[in-house]
Structure 1
Amino acid sequence: MKAFYALGRLQTGEMNKTEQAYAEHLDQRRMAGDIQWFKFEPMKLRLADNTFYSPDFIVLTSDGYLESHEVKGFWQDDARVKIKVAASIYPFRFIAVKVKAKKHGGGWEVEEF
């Protein structure tokens, strides 16, 4: 039996718990000087007619590069396709992060596209 997930349950601009935890992580990195700035859901990237990708975070690195960070608890097929297409079109570094279980050391598992 296929699992069903509630989509769109949060208002635009409202973070879920995993995104809140990642925002705290980014803020710690900002205070440490690893990054200069970050913003939650600041833009939509057009992939095709009536098809958009909204990165969870845009991050400005300490050396002046923009990165798109996607926070995932799990992947749905369309989300993985969208980030791959966006990475092929736009000049950002695209990164997906997933929470690592505490029994596996905690922190964030990082995948680059």
Structure 2
Amino acid sequence: MMAGKVGAGRRMLALGRLKTGELNKTEAAYAQRLRMLEASGQILWHKFEGLKLRLADNTFFTPDFAVVAADGVVELHVVKGHWQDDARAKIKIAAAMYPFRFIAVKVKPKRDGGWDVEEF
């Protein structure tokens, strides 16, 4: 079977997710940021894929990172390179159902550096 051509300006998306517990490059970079925040006392704890939330029968949401902020609030962080509609819907549903702070982060372009943050 031949792969179809990808048009100019169109990106190929990964087919599937890495194995449970494996970080992609963007998640690994964010994990490094969380380690620095933990070392400086700005957060108390973090764990990759530390929680799995049930949204409905056979429908779950697994945030990339569970984080305990310095004020003791549990935050669930999602690291995105690109938003798929179903992922945005799931985080909104989860935020309406659970008493956690939901945060999505997206790496900024290299010229800007840092992370764009969206709270739900």
The one-letter code of the counterpart of 1:69 is H
Could you say what secondary structure the match of 1:102 adopts?
Answer: coil
TM-score (ref. length: structure 1): 0.93
The one-letter code of the counterpart of 2:70 is S
Q: Give RMSD over aligned pairs.
A: 1.4
Match of 1:54 in 2: 62
Q: Is the radius of gyration larger for structure 1 or structure 2? A: 2
- Runs ≥4 residues deviating over 6 A: none
Match of 1:106 in 2: 113
Offset of residue 5 of structure 1: 2.0
Greater share of helix: 1
Aligned equivalent of 1:82, options 81, 90, 94? 90
Number of residues of Structure 1 aligned to a counterpart in Structure 2: 112
Instruction: List gaps (5 residues or longer) in structure 1.
Output: none
Identical columns (%): 64
Instruction: List gaps (5 residues or longer) in structure 2.
Output: 1-6
Residues 21-75 of structure 1: CA deviation (Å, up to 9, x unaligned): 0000000001111000000001210001111000000000111110000000000
